[in-house]
Amino acid sequence: MITIESLTKSYGRFTAVDDVTFTASPGRVTGFLGPNGAGKSTTMRVMVGLTPPTSGGVTINGRQFADLPNPGLEVGVLLDASAQHAGRTGREILTLAQRTMGLPRARVEEMLDRVSLTETEAGRRVRHYSLGMRQRLGIAAALIGEPQVLILDEPANGLDPAGIRWMRDLLRGYARRGGTVLLSSHLLNEVELVADEMILIGRGRIVARGDKQTLLAGAAGGGRVSTVVSALDRTALEDALRRTGLEATPDGDGFRVAATPADIGRAALEHQVVLTELRNGAAGLEDLFLELTSDTQRDAVRAGSDQAGAAA
């Protein structure tokens, strides 16, 4: 279990992490989400003793990371896959971890096999690894001590679709066996598939937490019926919706309507309108994420910005 209590980290006048409190529990994958600069990496660095907190603190299974006698046997950490020694081979890096933790030599080959690094790749120097291979090596180093807790910062970076699915299955299996997984990522769709609980952070503060259903139900407008619809004849569609008493708001090539797809389909059939799109338009995790962290987004979309850019 990872317990974060009133964690604050300041650099002069700048507060990177502001009174953050949450728990990552055993048997669950906890997704830690936020835009760049939100405080995710700083929080994780404090967890593993790389950055001292200004106030508050973090415990892992009831103890601070610095107090763990052999940390690798209790906590597997991957914060930056590119930080590995570029001049060593993958096998050498795992061998150093194995010796440091006092593990059997066979663990090195077991880990190479587990993360699907071949014999040739294991003997190659890390400077010649792709980012995906470095991620696999970093995961192997995190898992080699069979720890109870995993702390992973953007572990899917550089992985291809097959690698991402492999990662997803690995983390789910780890949690099913009772492990604690804290996963930081900006890949919202991927986290949505694997995480049991999600913590959303913006400007160093927790802005929302819960499972997907809880988060979406509590979002602004959560629970309201919304459908996106378009047709071959946009004007005819708008007229059909109006005649049926449905309020339509322009949305791309069609409309967003506060009604169910079935209601809209019946209206279109009644007025003989050919639809080209009809889908649930309720807010998803990405919409919620962008809404809750909108004041921290570098690339926030503003009304008229496209036109202004075109005019320039």
Band (pLDDT 50/70/90 cuts) for residue 297 is low
Give the pLDDT score at 157: 84
Q: What is the pLDDT of residues 124-181, one digit of tens each?
A: 999 999 999 999 999 999 999 999 999 999 888 888 889 989 999 999 999 999 999 9
- Of residues 190 and 125, more confidence is placed in 125
Q: Is 116 left (phi over 0), alpha (psi -120 to 50) or beta?
A: left
Band (pLDDT 50/70/90 cuts) for residue 303 is very low
Q: What is the pLDDT of residues 274-292, one digit of tens each?
A: 999 998 776 666 767 777 6
How much is the average pLDDT of 35-61?
93
H/E stretch holding 306 reads helix 305-311
The C-alpha atoms of residue 151 and residue 58 are separated, in whole angstroms, by 13
Domain at 2-217, CATH homologous superfamily:
P-loop containing nucleotide triphosphate hydrolases (3.40.50.300)
Please state the domain extents for the chain: 2-217, 227-281
Q: What is the pLDDT of residues 220-277, one digit of tens each?
A: 444 467 789 999 999 999 999 999 999 888 988 899 898 889 999 999 999 999 999 9
What's the predicted TM-score (pTM) here?
0.77
For tokens 């200004």, the residue is: 54
Reply yes or no on whether the pLDDT at 105 is more than 60. yes
